Structure 1
Amino acid sequence: MHPAPSVIFFTVFSGIGFGLLTFLGLGFPAVTGWTAFAFFVIAYLAAVGGLISSTFHLGHPERALKAFTQWRSSWLSREGWCAVIALITMGLYGLGLVFFDQRWTLLGLIGSVFSVLTVFTTSMIYTQLKTIPRWNSPLTPVMFLSYSLAAGALLSGQEPWAIILLLIAGVAQIILWAQGDGALARSGTTLATATGLGPRGDVRAFEPPHTGTNYLLKEFAFTVGRKHSQKVRIISIVLMAGVPILLLLPPFSHGLIALAVASHVAGALASRWLFFAEAEHVVGLYYGKR
Structure 2
Amino acid sequence: MHPAFSVVFFTTATGAGYGLLALLGLLGGLGVIPADFWLGVVGMSLALGLVVAGLLSSTGHLGRPERAWRAFSQWRSSWLSREGVASVATFIPASMFGIGWVFLGRSGGWVAVAGLLAAAGAVTTVCTTGMIYASLKPIAQWHSRYTLPAYLIFATMTGSVLANALLQGFKLSSTAMLIWALLATLAGWSWKLATWRHNDRLEIPTTANTATGLAGGTVRSIEWPHTEENYLLKEMGFRIARKHSAKLRRITQALAFAAPAILLAIALLLPWPLGAIASVLAALAQLAGMLVERWLFFAEAKHTVTLYYGRE
TM-score, normalised relative to structure 2: 0.89
Q: Check whether the contact 2:135–2:143 (CA below 8 A) recurs between aligned residues.
A: yes
Q: Distance in 2 between matches of 1:11 and 1:206?
A: 39
Number of the residue aligned with 1:66: 70
1:6 counterpart residue number = 6
Is 2:41 the counterpart of 1:37? yes
Query: Which segments of 5 or more consecutive residues in structure 1 lack a partner in the other structure?
Result: none
The answer as to whether partners of 2:6 and 2:61 remain within 8 angstroms in 1 is yes
Q: Residue 193 of structure 2: which of 174, 183, 201 is its match?
A: 174
Task: Name the residue aligned to 2:86.
Answer: 82
Q: Is the 8 A contact 2:35 2:106 kept in 1?
A: no
Alignment counterpart, residue 164 of structure 1, candidates 168, 183, 204: 183
Q: How does 1:189-268 map to 2 (within 5 A)?
A: 189-199=206-216, 201-250=217-266, 251=268, 253-268=275-290
- Matched letter for residue 150 of structure 2: M
Tell me how far 1:20 sits from its aligned partner.
Answer: 0.4
Indicate whether 1:281 and 2:281 are aligned.
no
Cα pair 1:221 1:280 within 8 Å, conserved = yes
Deviation at 1:246, TM superposition (A): 0.7
Amino acid in structure 2 at the alignment position of 1:193: T
Instruction: Report whether the alignment pairs 1:115 with 2:122.
Output: yes
Shift of 1:197: 2.2
Deviation at 1:94, TM superposition (A): 0.5
Counterpart residue type for residue 164 of structure 1: L
Measure how far apart 1:243 and its partner are.
Answer: 0.8
Give the deviation of 1:110 after TM superposition. Answer: 0.8
Aligned residues: 287
Q: Which amino acid aligns with 1:121?
A: T
CA contact (8 A) 1:134 1:181 kept: no
Aligned equivalent of 2:131, options 101, 107, 124:
124
Listed one character per residue, the Cα deviations across residues 219-265 of structure 1 (whole Å, up to 9, x for unaligned) are 01111111111111111012111111111113361101110001101
User: Does the CA-based 8 Å contact 1:24-1:108 persist in structure 2?
Assistant: yes
Report percent identity of matched pairs.
44
Once the two structures are superposed, what CA deviation does each residue of 1:206-230 show, in whole Å capped at 9, x if it has no partner?
2111111100011011111111111
Please state how far the C-alpha of 1:196 moved relative to its aligned partner.
2.1
Distance 1:231 1:213 in 2: 27
Residues 91-137 of structure 1: CA distance to partner in whole angstroms, max 9, x if unpaired? 11011112111121111011101101111110110010111000111
The alpha-carbon deviation at position 73 of structure 1 amounts to: 1.0
Does residue 101 in structure 1 map to residue 123 in structure 2? no
What is the one-letter code of the residue matched to 1:102?
R
CA distance in structure 2 between the aligned counterparts of 1:172 and 1:288, rounded to whole angstroms: 33
The answer for unaligned runs of 5 or more in structure 2 is: 165-176
Shift of 1:284: 1.1
Partner SS for 2:63: coil
Q: Which residue of 2 aligns with 1:270?
A: 292
Counterpart selection for 1:153 from 160, 164, 178: 160
The one-letter code matched in structure 1 to 2:40 is A
Amino acid at match of 1:205: S
| Aligned residue identity for 2:91 | L
Q: What residue in structure 2 maps to residue 24 of structure 1?
A: 24
Shift of residue 269, structure 1, vs aligned partner: 0.6
In 2: Cα distance, 1:31 partner to 1:227 partner: 50
Match for 2:214: what amino acid?
L
Q: 1:196 is aligned with what amino acid?
A: G
- Whether the aligned pair in 1 keeps the contact of 2:225 and 2:309 (CA below 8 Å) is yes
- Give 1:165 deviation, angstroms: 1.1
Distance 1:32 1:88 in 2: 21
Letter in 1 for 2:126: V
Question: C-alpha offsets along residues 71-108 of structure 1, whole Å, 9 cap, x if unaligned?
Answer: 11111111111111212211110111121111211110
